[in-house]
Structure 1
Amino acid sequence: MEVTRYSSIRAFYREVEDFLLCQEDRAGIMLGNCLRFEDKVWKGEQPFLATVKQNGKIMLSAMLIPPYALLLLEKEETDGVAAVPYLVRYLIQEDYYIQKIMSPKAVGKVFAQEWTTAHHLEEKLLMDLRLYALPTVIKPAALTGRLRLATKADLAFLPRWIVEMTEETKQIMTMAEAEEYAKIRVASEFLFIWEEDGKPVSMAAKTRPNIKGVSINLVYTPKNLRGKGYASACVAALSDHLLKEGFTFCTLYTDLSNPTSNKIYQNIGYEPVCDYIELKFNEKRTERPA
């Protein structure tokens, strides 16, 4: 097998376009990065972009856009697993340091084993995820509410909701970061509110509009408003809205440790695609003598 590294996202995308588009649901994050950063000029640390091929066939693709996790993607699990040691060997030769990965589960586990063994590190599971895709919405029981775009007026509470949500998912944002994030999402018309009797009760966001598919994230209902079907109604209405915009399917990721969210998404038509993991690599802890 041969590892090829690319100097730009444009060059990388030319190579992997067919590989990504034939599995657009699984490739959503990597494809989205290619589409949105194709012409970006990078200052400082450059993206890491590579493929592992055998006889001209892409076995594994890899993308790291600083400061985010290394993304790995295969089309066939056996190909990806077989290609991982070649990628790890290349990274070691190039003295390239990887702190985090996000990957389909089987390939990610093999990478983690190879990487931690080579560098005497330990892995920490950040997120155990399931990717879902929806082609058609199954509408939940009717609620007396409506979906609407978030507005500047909603910035009075949206940053607090975002901070609370990231605390629950262990991907913590500061209030300042959440305020900036909310402003950008509102300005781009990507953030939506479900309201009942004029009161905001849940939120969800559009993200990664790609070729045929689009994703939903930032789904959150405050704790005191849960159990009333607001998240189901919000996600169902937003999914329906996005399909009517012309997308063929919607995707979203769920935390497998949260059976409630996995159930409600399936109830409105989301079907499992594959499992992902997000891992972080830390130095091994050494036991101090008693």
Structure 2
Amino acid sequence: MKLVEYTDRRLYCEKVEPFLLQKEAENNLTLGLIGTFHRTVPAANVYTAIVEADEQIAMTLLMTPPHNLILSINEDVMSERMMIETVRSLVQNGMHFPGVVGERKWTEVFARVWADETSRRAAIAMEQKIYILKEVSAIQQSRGKFMLADLSHHPLLTEWMVDFMNYTNEPPISIENAAGRMKQFIKEKSVFLWMADDIPVSMAKKSRSTKNGVCVSLVYTPDELRGKGFASSCVAELSRHLLEDYAFCTLYTDLANPTSNSIYQKIGYSPIQDSVMISFS
């Protein structure tokens, strides 16, 4: 087993992309992030590494602070012994992680070993499922229409983004930071709305893309407007729109929210992997 850390992001991308593309939909988070490395220079504190065994990739590691470490696992190669050795190497190298996210089985092993080796507490922050969609099912749409968000919606969508981040156990975000990010999203034409009586009632975002797919994220409906089918209509129409340019869509769900999981399956999304987000304290 060998832990190889990369400061040259170009070399890292060349090394890991062929491996990650073998399970493109499941690895959409890592692939989407390294895709940005081709377009922009990543921050100096971004962490990129691989674990190799017998000249094969056993695991990729990527962290963009302050976010969690992301693991992508080669289940044919990874072993508990190898995971223990990996964690011990990371500890020796002085690494610190706020948490970890990835395929459930091996991410839980990593977290358990990390807690043992660092005397930190590991706690599940969110149990997730990754879904894939290749064709949108026919569903009963709620009243209203689908549209691209514009800057006139910016103040409201900034508030929605803050609420979304708090609801989904993401790192807290200030109203100023949310405002800046939302303005950029709107300029990129990546945020879409469901409108009822010309009022925004739900949003969803075109997020990171991979070679053949694209992720749907930031799905949000205010509490007082939930249960009316607005999110279903918004996600269905956004997915249909994205499938004009991509072979498939992916999204993550919180397993603690059975309503959203049911909604996505009715639209046509199928589960492909259990994922877990674990925090260290």
TM-score, with structure 2 as normaliser? 0.94
Report what 2:156 is aligned to.
157
Distance 1:156 1:95 in 2: 41
SS at match of 2:243: helix
Structure 2: how far apart are the matches of 1:156 and 1:7? 38
Question: How far did 1:238 drift?
Answer: 0.2
Q: Which amino acid aligns with 1:92?
A: V
1:231–1:82 distance in 2 versus 1, CA, 3 Å = farther
Contact 2:216 2:249 in 1 (8 A): yes
Q: In the alignment, does 2:253 pair up with 1:254?
A: yes
Distance 1:279 1:110 in 2: 11
Identity %: 34
Q: Where in structure 1 are there 5+ consecutive unaligned residues?
A: 283-290
The separation in 2 between residues aligned to 1:83 and 1:53, in whole angstroms, is 10
- How far apart, CA to CA, are the structure 1 residues paired with 2:30 and 2:14? 13
What amino acid is aligned across from residue 201 of structure 1 in structure 2?
V
User: How far is the alpha carbon of 1:154 from its aligned partner?
Assistant: 0.5
1:236 paired residue number: 236
Per-residue deviation, 1:78: 6.2
| Contact 1:10–1:39 (Cα < 8 Å) also in 2 | no
The answer to whether the 8 A contact 1:10-1:34 is kept is no
In structure 2, relative to structure 1, the CA distance for the partners of 1:113 and 1:158 (3 Å cut) is: same
Aligned 8 A contact 2:192 2:205 in 1: yes
- Cα distance, 1:144 vs structure 2: 3.0
Question: What is the Cα-based RMSD across aligned positions, in Å?
Answer: 1.7
Shift of 1:7: 2.0
User: Can you list the C-alpha shifts for 1:81-115, whole angstroms capped at 9, x where unaligned?
Assistant: 55322221211221212221111111111111111
Q: Report if aligned partners of 1:204, 1:217 keep a CA contact under 8 Å in 2.
A: yes
Residue matched to 1:26: 26
Give structure 2 stretches of 5+ with no counterpart.
Answer: none
Larger radius of gyration between Structure 1 and Structure 2: 1
Cα distance change, pair 106–136 in 1 and its aligned pair in 2 (3 A): same
* C-alpha contact 1:60 1:84 (8 A) present in aligned 2: no
For 1:143, the equivalent position in structure 2 comes to: 142
Change (3 A) 1:170 1:5: closer
Give CA deviations for 1:161-202 in whole Å, capped at 9, x if unaligned: 222222322333222222112111101100000112322111
Distance of aligned partners of 1:182 and 1:155 in 2 relative to their CA distance in 1, 3 Å threshold:
same
> Across the two proteins, how many residue pairs are aligned to each other?
280
Give yes or no for contact 1:126–1:279 (8 Å, CA) kept in 2.
Answer: yes
Distance 2:52 2:78 in 1: 9
